[in-house]
Amino acid sequence: DGGITQSPKYLFRKEGQNVTLSCEQNLNHDAMYWYRQDPGQGLRLIYYSQIVNDFQKGDIAEGYSVSREKKESFPLTVTSAQKNPTAFYLCASSIRSPNRDYVNNEQFFGPGTRLTVL
């Protein structure tokens, strides 16, 4: 059955190290997104990609990098330049462009990865 997977569920990192979070989808969606959620706050967009080999910065891209070499995969690297990396990271996917009948326009989310910097 189709869905989005994120791994690992929990990740610990030492300060100063880069770490890559995995996101895979088999929904045949063109668009993929990375969000960050901090305690008591909403979801903030880090990066998004509307098609393979293309991606754009979201609202809080500093200290992060992404790649989109395959349609199914959109890995996120949290670099040592990210000042406050401890957070819950969520990946999502959707169709690329809104369709006029508004069916299945929503973003589908993975289960998330909780990153803790020690």
- Beta-carbon contacts of residue 29 (< 8 Å; ≥ 6 apart): 71, 93, 94, 95, 96, 108
Q: Does 110 bind other proteins (CB under 8 A)?
A: yes
- In this chain, which stretch among 12-20, 61-69, 70-78, 104-112 interacts with other proteins, using CB under 8 A? 104-112
Q: Does 20 bind other proteins (CB under 8 A)?
A: no
3-state secondary structure the chain: CCCEEEECCEEEECCCCCEEEEEEECCCCCEEEEEEECCCCCEEEEEEEEECCEEEECCCCCCEEECCCECCECCEEECCCCCCCCEEEEEEEECCCCCCCCCCCCCEECCCEEEEEC
Q: Does 112 bind other proteins (CB under 8 A)?
A: yes
- In this chain, which stretch among 11-19, 67-75, 79-87, 109-117 interacts with other proteins, using CB under 8 A? 109-117
| Residue of the chain from 55, 82, 94, 117 that contacts other proteins (CB under 8 A) | 94
Q: Does 108 bind other proteins (CB under 8 A)?
A: yes
Q: In the range 32-71, which residues lie near other proteins by CB under 8 A?
A: 33, 35, 40-45, 48, 50, 58
Residues that bind other proteins (CB under 8 A): 4, 6, 31, 33, 35, 40-45, 48, 50, 58, 88, 90, 92, 94-98, 102, 105-112, 114
